Amino acid sequence: MRKLGTLLVIVGILAGFLLLVSGPLYRWQWLDLGTAFLLLRWAAYIGVAATVLIIIYLIWQRPRGMPLAVLTFAAVIGFISFYLPYQQLQTARSVPPIHDISTDLENPPVFVAVAKERANAPNPVEYAGEETANQQRKAYPDVQPLVLESDYERVFSAALAVVNDLGWQLVASDLTEGRIEATDTTFWFGFKDDVVIRIDNGADQVRVDVRSKSRVGRSDVGKNADRIMQFMQQLREQLAAQ
């Protein structure tokens, strides 16, 4: 393989390396969030450059055999390094810059046990307010409470089972108060988002409300709404299977 081809392979792999390490380095607290995001940005820049230049090189030199395979691999790595941050950016632009989502916007469930875990978090434990509520109504109209004709303790038990199935860390559960609190940690960056589930026992119905809030970041890129919808769907399935 010619020197230029070798250099292009190195550049493509470098983009992949920056993409790969950005999350873990932040998660292990070796980098702050701004620097980790800067690595993502450079991974995208280098990745798209490597992909385009490798394609030009392949057309120009027409390598075969192992050089072709290695260059193609590097181009794929470069494209992935560009596409993943780009896709995340496009998702962030498509949703409102909020990070506190609740099925009850008039009286959001309150974090109790989780509050001390969030003491030093950039995003305070209190509900974000009416501006956030208005943005949620427009962006996530399907995030609604779940009303069930079922036994209260059965619903509470099913909710605990779903928390466990989803891999959330259970922080507290209080059957008397109808409150479950948990923390969901994202895989790559290790972002911690907290969830409180409120179960109200009415005369002949049980109402389930869920609130999910990120500890850091202005925008959650739609993650909290998705988390609530996933929980509600699995709770329905859990109750149906019992």
Share of the chain above pLDDT 70, in %: 100
> What domain range is 31 assigned to?
3-94
Residues 148 and 114 grouped into a single domain: yes
Residue 156, pLDDT > 90, answer yes
Residue 241, pLDDT > 90, answer no
Query: What pTM was computed for the model?
Result: 0.88
Given 24, 59, 94, the domain boundary residue is 94
Q: List, in sequence order, the alpha helices (H) in the chain.
A: 3-27, 33-61, 65-94, 130-139, 152-165, 223-241
Residue 172, pLDDT > 90, answer yes
Q: Which of 191, 216, 189 is nearest to 20 (CA)?
A: 189
Residues 117 and 189 grouped into a single domain: yes
Given 94, 120, 144, the domain boundary residue is 94
Residues 181 and 220 grouped into a single domain: yes
* Coil, strand or helix at 194: strand
Residues 10 and 83 grouped into a single domain: yes
Nearest-angstrom CA–CA distance, 159 and 147: 13
CA atoms within 13 A on the CB side of 202: 10
Question: What count of other Cβ atoms lies within 10 Å of the Cβ of residue 15?
Answer: 27
Task: Name the phi and psi angles at 194, rounded to 5.
Answer: -100, 145
Number of domains in the chain: 2
The reported pLDDT for the residue numbered 105 is 97
